[in-house]
Amino acid sequence: MRVVAGTLGGRRLQTPSSSVTRPTSDRVREALFATLGPIDGFAVLDLFSGSGALAIEALSRGAARAVLVERDRNAAKVIAANLEALELAEPQARLIRGNALKALELAGKASEKYDLVFLDPPYRQPAMLGDDSAKLIATILAPDARVVTESDRRQPLELELPMIDERRYGDTLIRIHQR
């Protein structure tokens, strides 16, 4: 796996060795960021970060800062190694080791605002995350913010936010919602 484009384009990324974590493929990331367009200066929140590839890709393409949230200990170690190898440190990149919903609650209480949120939970969890995560996400969205969900096409992650785009890549379903 590699960073597709931007200032870090071509750099290799480590991936967690786990059956639970399934990193977003280079092809899907490339198509997603082409759909998103320019993200210069964006504040990005990457929930269920896995390898950190989505947030790192966003930083490479001009995002100002990214917060990566990952509960899995192995995956968090991989994210930390990727950030270190790419010389991405605070305040540009911050790793939170913990629960995504708890991180959303804390971000809301701290009045943090994000322009782009990636929500890519383990494929077996989307149904139970939809309502809770949508309510919490709404509190941290900047005006015109977008939320990108990634799920299995057979079990789509439903959010009560207006959907502006939907694309399917094999079994992967990408939906882009906008505030």
Look at residues 12, 80, 11 and name the one whose alpha carbon lies nearest to residue 50.
Answer: 80
- Give the pLDDT of the chain (179 residues) as one tens digit per residue: 999 999 999 999 999 886 556 678 888 999 999 999 999 999 999 999 999 999 999 999 999 999 999 999 999 999 999 999 999 999 999 999 999 989 999 999 999 999 999 998 876 665 445 566 678 898 999 999 999 999 888 888 888 889 999 999 998 999 999 98
Which residues, including other chains, have CB under 8 Å from residue 109's CB and lie 6 or more apart?
none
47-74 core/surface letters (b: 16 or more CB in 10 A; e: else): bbbbbbbbbbbbbbbebebbbbbbbbee
DSSP state of 13: -
Domain limits of the chain? 26-178
**C-alpha to C-alpha distances, 172 to 118, 142, 154, nearest whole angstrom:** 14, 27, 9
Token pair, residue 98, equals 């913990």
Contact 89, 83 (CB under 8 A): yes
State pTM to two decimals.
0.93
Residues 177, 157 contacting (CB under 8 angstroms)? no
Asked: is 26-178 a CATH 2.40.50.140 domain? The reply is no
